[in-house]
Amino acid sequence: MNCAAPPPILRLLLPLIAVGLLFSCAPRELSSFAWVSSEGKPLSFHQEFSFEEGKEQLFDREATKNRYILAEASAIPPGFMLAVTLDIESEGTVVEFSLYSDLRKPLRTSRFSGAAGRSSFYLSSGAVSLKALGLTVTPPAGGGAAESEQAIRTAALVSVEVLPEFHGYEYREKGASRISDDVRVERGSGAVSWYLPIPAASQAAGQTLTLSYGSASGAEILIRGARSLKLLCSSTRGQTRIPLSVLTEGSPVESLVLSVSDSAGLVSAFVEALPPRDAATVDPGILLQKPRLGEDEDFSLHYWELIPEVLMFDFRDYAVQDAYLKRLAFFVEKQGFTGRLAEDAEIAELHGWNAHDYRAEDVARFFTLAETSKFSLGEEEILLRDLLLREGFLIASGNGFKGNGGALISISRESPDYLRKTFLTHEASHAIFFTDASYRKLVLSIWNDMSKEEKSFWYRYFGWMRYNTGSDYLMANELQAYLIQQSPVHAQKYFTETLVGRLVEAHPELEEPLSEYVLAFGGEFTEKAGELDAWLRAAYGFGAGATYFVR
């Protein structure tokens, strides 16, 4: 069949018409919200349905479903999830997400009953490349026809991001929340079980379980992984972090199971990776639960969750701890040595401490004197100084250093478990004394209000322990630490039998005066311990005997 050639003018226009048809049929890239890759780069995408231009992210009772298709498939790397953030208008709105690597069939579909407010939904993809996201928003039943656009809106899509994985649920302020598609909650009689699946790929350093509760109820949460722990929900901060490594003990676990009584008031439970400093900010009880140190580790270092300016060291053994802190102990606290730098040979045969505590100002004085006097410090002491500078605990100032208001404490793995608990509580109380002016004022008032006769036992005992008894500040600080290192109900027996017994064994000539002291002042130990215990419970949520919540 012969066809007539098109007129010359039409031959010129045909290419332009073809280009025009191409552009009119091409999907229009959306800019009403962002879709961001794991590298933080904005991705190009279009919608499948005909939502109004500029409002492709808005859902209402008529516009309930859309699919957003990437110009090019985008990878979800291991350790990442797709996080979709929505502003939801009404409680009970159901949102359904479908992820596509192939547009013909969804890879995964997840449904949530959304709360009113801003929610970020973390969706598992199996670490594949995604091509599209489908979203269906079903409003709650009821609520007749609305007159205004705002009234009929059910949800607004805020953003789509590829973010580091998050498993669980977190309630944030002003109705905002995060939730993953793999968390499961089952209600029983007076209790709730939370199941947090933890992919094996995510069980790396820095992964942390965060638990938040609405009030300091004192209820317990049982946490089961490769091992089981209990959390006392009494922190006045209302939050506790537990490194995942403590719960897995080096063995991958499929999930964490939390048994939570209704009285605990748990509002958030999730696992995610945190920056190194945040991941190391924990409850002191974590030191008692951590796995053994690596062969090349002298210590583990953590920061106190309630008082982040407190550094907590857990040393391999007493010898390593001495290498870092023994000379400092003599400089700050030891009778006959305070304020001067002792040579190694002078203190080699003398006992330091089995656990330590120092305020930043005293540590700064120690290192400043070493710097200005050209004193030869040991290798470990230099490592400690440099670490404290990096952490901001010390600040370089002129030819020396200034303290930054914090405190450091330490215990050792060489101590038996029962003593590690006692030492940790003892040293933690010192950190509170150093950093909390109100507590320090209370303690100093208790010491100053004691008569000379009542103080006599403390001077005798602390003198025998080789403390610098000429410092009322040190005496008051040690007084409170010894009083609260055990429960108040055990205080009287500990002091009138255990400590008096130690003194009498070393100094038999003191048996009679110490017996008279116990008759006169024996009840004061319990009374003063109770006063400190009550203050700590009101201020921090823990009391004498255990200055921590993870047990």
Q: What one-letter code names the amino acid at 24?
A: S
pTM for this predicted structure: 0.89
Residues 358/408, Cβ–Cβ less than 8 Å: yes
Q: What is the pLDDT of residue 199?
A: 81
Residue 500: Cβ-neighbour burial (10 angstroms; 0-12, 13-18, 19+)? buried
Q: What is the pLDDT of residue 16?
A: 45
Question: Which long-range contacts (C-beta less than 8 Å, at least 24 apart) are formed by 377-383?
Answer: 377/327, 378/323, 378/327, 378/344, 379/323, 380/298, 380/320, 380/323, 380/324, 381/323, 381/324, 381/327, 381/328, 383/324
Q: What one-letter code names the amino acid at 527?
A: E
| The two structure tokens encoding residue 427 | 């040293």
DSSP, collapsed to helix, strand or coil, labels residue 513 as helix
Supply the DSSP symbol for 10.
H
- The radius of gyration of the chain from alpha carbons, rounded to an integer in Å, stands at 32
153 DSSP β-pair partners: 60
pLDDT, one tens digit per residue, over 504-517 is 999 999 999 999 99
Residues 316/298, Cβ–Cβ less than 8 Å: yes
Q: What is the pLDDT of residue 11?
A: 45
Contacts for 514 with CB less than 8 Å, ≥ 6 apart: 457, 500, 503, 504
Class of domain 34-141+149-180: mainly beta
The C-alpha atoms of residue 247 and residue 209 are separated, in whole angstroms, by: 9
Q: What is the pLDDT of residue 25?
A: 52
Instruction: Show me where the domains of the chain are located.
Output: 34-141+149-180, 184-279, 297-417, 436-551
DSSP, collapsed to helix, strand or coil, labels residue 223 as strand
DSSP, collapsed to helix, strand or coil, labels residue 487 as coil
The C-alpha atoms of residue 545 and residue 526 are separated, in whole angstroms, by: 13
Residue segments in the chain with a per-residue pLDDT below the cut of 50:
1-4, 7-24, 144-150
Contacts for 520 with CB less than 8 Å, ≥ 6 apart: 453
Q: Cα–Cα distances in Å, from 381 out to 298, 353, 356, 370, 378? A: 12, 16, 14, 10, 5
- Tell me how many helices (H) and strands (E) the chain has: 15, 27
Q: What are phi and psi of 498, to 5 degrees?
A: -65, -55
Q: What is the pLDDT of residue 18?
A: 44
